[in-house]
Amino acid sequence: MRGGPAVVAALCLMGWGPAALACTVIVPMPRQGETFEQAAIRMNFEDQRRLTALSDAVFLASARYDPAIKRSLLTTLKALVGRKPPARMKAKDGPVGCSDTPERLAGRVVVFAQQIGMREDFWRPWRWGRWVAIDWRSVDEIVDPHLAAQLRRPA
């Protein structure tokens, strides 16, 4: 392509570059003897393991959107991994893929949460101790066997 770098720079300056990059989804190539479906499950498994490692608490919650505060309200149903989660918390809805429409938490979800500490927000001590949902998955999206076993365990 003639003028490739110049065209890319122009698109970025016009605002199209970052949007196109944000919508890029990297699908792993299947390993030897693995189907694309198995590769997708492996990718989800690795993502859930990564989220669990980043979280202070992973828990099952009931979620509903509250239009008055424009956030989802989470009520903890059962702790799964890590520290004791908060009984209730608010979660900012996040974008879904390339859509500008936020994903609204609804029903039963597995929440990956961190508790803000001095290291995470040194200049704002009033936030220390506050819980933040770093991500969530619907119960039927859980492929990590450890999390799935914790979900089946009685409360």
pLDDT of residue 12: 43
pLDDT of residue 102: 60
Q: Please give the residue that has the higher pLDDT: either 139 or 16.
A: 139
What is the rounded CA–CA span in Å between residue 8 and residue 31?
33
Q: What is the pLDDT of residues 50-69, one digit of tens each?
A: 999 999 999 999 999 888 88
Q: Between vectors from CA 104 to CA 43 and to CA 146, what angle results, nearest 5°?
A: 35
Q: Please give the residue that has the higher pLDDT: either 74 or 101.
A: 74
Q: Between vectors from CA 39 to CA 36 and to CA 45, what angle results, nearest 5°?
A: 145
Q: Which of 102-115 are b and which e, b meaning 16 or more Cβ less than 10 Å from the residue's Cβ?
A: eeebeeebbbbbbb
What are the phi and psi torsion angles at 68 (to 5°)?
-65, -35
Q: Which of 122, 123, 108 is nearest to 59 (CA)?
A: 108
pLDDT of residue 92: 78
Q: What is the pLDDT of residues 135-155, one digit of tens each?
A: 999 999 999 999 999 999 887
Domains in the chain (CATH in brackets) are 4-152 (2.40.50)
pTM of the full structure: 0.74
The mean pLDDT of 117-141, rounded to a whole number, is 83
pLDDT of residue 22: 54
What is the rounded CA–CA span in Å between residue 18 and residue 7?
14
pLDDT of residue 139: 93
pLDDT more than 90, % of the chain: 39
pLDDT band at 100 (very low <50, low <70, confident <90, very high): low
